[in-house]
Structure 1
Amino acid sequence: MNRTFNLLYTGTFAGTLLALGLWSTQGARDFSAAADTPVLNGKLALAFEKHYDAEFPIKQLGTNLWAALDFSLFGEGRPGVVVGANDWLYSDEEFKPVAGALHNSQDNQALIQGVRETLARHDVQLVMAILPAKARLYPENFGERRPAPLHEQLYQNFRRAVADAGIQAPDLLGPLSQAKAEGQVFLRTDTHWTPYGAQVVAGQLATAIKPSGLVPESGSRYVTETAPGEPHKGDLTNFLPLDPLFEELLPPPDQLTKHSTRAQEENAAGADDLFAETQVPVALVGTSYSADERWNFAGALRQALGSDLVNFAEDGRGPLLPMLKFLQSDDFKNAPPRLVIWEFPERYLPMAYDLSEFDAEWIAQLKAAGRQDKHLADNTATSQGARH
């Protein structure tokens, strides 16, 4: 009996290895390299290794299987996502503590004030759109995980600090919280807001900006058209590598309604030309919340303000880098706008940034100008100290 069992076990093990080995050769079938790829220096071998690693079927099986166990048994994904209740996903940047948060916040606040000082020297008004975190707006879907103490008062303290430094920052948390009753303001499986959430923020900003007279009446009227909702697989599902083998375990996709805003006049100024014959008075700077056309934030702002604008926001760069790039651009130096709207999600305040692409002396000058405002530094230190 023991011998029969041993033979059966050995045969099964050998057969499994053979099957897996044959299956793994599929990763090499469609390999091809450029005709001039050198062989002797190892470049051909490296190209094959990269291709095989990417196509290795056992690797896909292991990745999917491990992700399925983590998700099913522990309700967890890869670093980057927090799995909440009711199929809600959150960025873990809105939950985890940040190393050096106090120092980073003080540095970033000094840079923000330095930006304001730079814009003021060119007679440009700055309005900040500090975006509340998705976790702040939808705490009812957290599940068992809770944000670190750092995040508890981050929005309120950030907004108070910039206001004390003389920067206009309208409250967006209240309007977005009220708008939840009418529709979803953030996507369930994505880091970003919905077009409806972007529209609510645009309306609140316009209400705060218009009395200042910074945006002259242009006579242009903007209309927004909507298309039927389509399934949208949010960016946070990338941290749940369950497909293709366990795709049914993923939270169902969001329904994303496409919004598109256009000027009614045929001769309306182009949105990408700040320096046409009629200078566009508004510049928008920010993150993917502003840059990604799927959310239509720039379009909603145009309609709410009744004015064209130029969008300098960038994907995947955070809020600081696009602003520093804008300040050094020929667009700003040659013909600055009257108003800059800076979209800045709250979670980016305590983060450290790699500013090596900019001149170190210039960055130091910006920070020094910002630190001259004692209210900003004192407020930051007090509020951050209270959280620790």
Structure 2
Amino acid sequence: MTRSLRVFYIALFLVTLMVLGLWSVRSFFGFSTNNEATVLNGRWSKAVETHYDDEFPIKRLGTNLWAALDFKLFNEGRPGVVLGRDQWLYSDEEFNPIVNEELNLQGNYALVEGVRQTLKARGVELVMAIVPAKVRLYPEHLAEVKPASIHADLYQDFHQRVAAERIPAPDLLGPLQQAKNAGQQVFLRTDTHWTPEGAQIAAEQLARTIAEKTPLSGQPQQFVTQASENVSHKGDLRLFLPLDPLFENLMPATEPLQKRTTVAAEQPAEGEDALFANSEVPVALVGTSYSANPNWNFVGALKQALNSDVLSYAEDGHGPILPMLSYLKSDDFKNSPPQVLIWEFPERYLPVNNEIGDADPQWVAELKQAGARQQNVALNIRKSEMPDRAQN
């Protein structure tokens, strides 16, 4: 290699580094950190390092390129997503085998019963909203990947267990399946969650069960749901396909989402009657992003179906158990327990070791122990009844 060629390569390399550096520096326009991140405690420098690492062009290029190769050659995405046919995406939580699945199952069953007992002691009726897995409703779009055996009968087993514990839990799978067969889309193609139509169907089933099993007291309140903006929705499962911006054309297409809003048909009058009505809590809702995310309007659909106000304590991104533990320790529950508490619980969370956050582990263990004792009592009663039934 001649001296002039070596100089050319060195100059080209330096120019490339300078261009990449300037490109990365451009990402700092508008960059800011919270007040707790200072130079003295090191958090500011860590935030800058993380931001630079995320925005570095070579990293983005490599991430996009590798994701495109996985996507086109092997029909795979990042851990977290399972690719189906016809641009359908599924959460891999509905497919993966579970570590310590039997131990987790029994622990979560016992916790559900322990929660029921805690609520019953305060005069609160628990109603379960067991959300069926997306793959259970739309298996026709699957490719070669199939759910692990633990998921096969999970939905039915969950219903059988809560029925044995006398917890009302309407079947949501059947009505959702019927609506799907009638041409409605009840789950989003590129998202983990149900559509507003699916959420409304679930809310109507829950309202029927509550009206039959534990009717609400007080005057009904009318609510009206109206269509609002129509948006192009990017499903949360697309995040596990880091193809943009270089290979955005390979991504599953966005899908239309008609948002909905629910408001009271008549605003309560000012005065003592209104103040008294507001102090009562007929229905509370605890759950996951199926409930917490306003895109599905599940809370609004419940209000309209129940003819009652609904206070939501659902949380996004924490599963079904942590929000329930937080609610049971809240001042709202201690001071104003509802008549009915709806616990929205996706079936895929049943066999996993769910997070409990800052909840006292000893208290959680006591809830499980109380639930397990009651389950053993119920099991012994059923066993004692079996010979009598056989004789009859």
Please tell me the TM-score bracket, short chain as reference.
Answer: 0.7 to 0.9
Q: Structure 2 CA distance, aligned partners of 1:33 and 1:227?
A: 34
TM-score normalised by length of structure 1 = 0.87
- Residues 208-357 of structure 1 mapped to structure 2, 5 A cutoff: 208-216=209-217, 218-267=219-268, 277-355=278-356, 357=358
CA contact (8 A) 1:371 1:377 kept: no
1:21 aligns with 2:17: yes
Per-residue Cα deviation, 1:2-56 (whole angstroms, up to 9, x for no partner): x89xx99x8997687455423321213554789x9659x9777655533431221
Q: 1:111 to 1:58 in 2, by over 3 A?
A: same
Q: Using the alignment, how far apart are the partners of 1:206 and 1:277 within structure 2?
A: 21
Q: CA RMSD in A?
A: 3.0
Secondary structure at the residue paired with 2:316? coil
Secondary structure of 2:224's counterpart equals strand
Q: How far, CA to CA, are the matches of 2:324 and 2:236 in structure 1?
A: 24
Summarize deviations over 1:97-128 as a string: whole Å, max 9, x none: 11111101111111100000111111111110
Aligned equivalents of 2:228, 2:262: Cα separation in 1: 12
**Cα distance, 1:83 vs structure 2:** 0.7
Taking a change above 3 Å as real, the CA distance of residues 171 and 177 of structure 1, as seen in their structure-2 partners, is same
Q: Deviations over 1:242-282 (max 9, x none)?
A: 0000001000101100111111112189xxx9986440211
In the alignment, which residue of structure 1 is the partner of 2:383?
Answer: none
State the distance in 1 between where 2:286 and 2:348 align. 17
Asked whether the 8 Å contact 1:274–1:331 carries over to 2, the reply is no
1:107 aligns with 2:107: yes
CA distance in structure 2 between the aligned counterparts of 1:121 and 1:61, rounded to whole angstroms: 58
User: Are 2:39 and 2:45, in contact at CA under 8 Å, matched by a contact in 1?
Assistant: no
Instruction: Determine if contact 2:322/2:357 at 8 Å carries over to the other structure.
Output: no
CA distance in 2, matches of 1:148, 1:275: 52
1:169 maps to a residue whose letter is A
Separation in 1 of the partners of 2:178 and 2:312? 28
- 1:65 is aligned to 65
Secondary structure of the residue aligned to 1:256 is strand
State the distance in 2 between where 1:42 and 1:280 align: 46
Contact 1:89 1:190 in 2 (8 A): yes
Counterpart-to-counterpart distance in 1, 2:378 and 2:19: 61
- For residues 97-246 of structure 1, what are the structure 2 equivalents within 5 Å? 97-180=97-180, 181-216=182-217, 218-246=219-247
Alpha-carbon distance in structure 2 between the residues aligned to 1:53 and 1:364: 41
Asked if 1:367 corresponds to 2:364, the answer is: no
Query: What secondary structure does 2:85 align onto?
Result: coil
The CA distance in 1 between the partners of 2:275 and 2:242, in whole Å, is 42
**Cα 1:68/1:360, change in 2 over 3 Å:** same
Q: Tell me the secondary structure at the aligned position of residue 150 of structure 2.
A: helix
Rounded Cα–Cα distance in structure 1 between residues aligned with 2:175 and 2:325: 29
Identity percentage over the alignment? 55
What number of residue pairs does the alignment pair up? 371
Separation in 1, partners of 2:293, 2:208: 23
* Equivalent position of 1:92 in the other structure: 92
Contact 2:110 2:375 in 1 (8 A): no
What does the per-residue CA deviation read over 1:296-354, in whole Å, with 9 as the maximum and x for residues that have no partner?
Answer: 00110111111111111111111011111111111111221111111000000011123
Partner letter of residue 227 of structure 2? T
Specify every segment of 5 or more residues in structure 2 that has no aligned partner in the other structure, as ranges: 381-392
Structure 1 residue matching 2:106: 3-state secondary structure: helix
1:341 to 1:275, Cα distance in 2 relative to 1, 3 A: farther
* C-alpha distance in structure 2 between counterparts of 1:233 and 1:116, whole Å: 37
SS in 2 for 1:301: helix
SS at match of 1:373: helix
Letter in 1 for 2:359: F
The verdict on how the C-alpha distance between 1:45 and 1:123 changes in structure 2, with shifts beyond 3 A counting, is: closer
Q: Distance in 2 between matches of 1:48 and 1:209?
A: 52
Change in 2 beyond 3 A, CA 1:259/1:51: closer
- Higher deviation after alignment, 94-103 or 222-231: 222-231
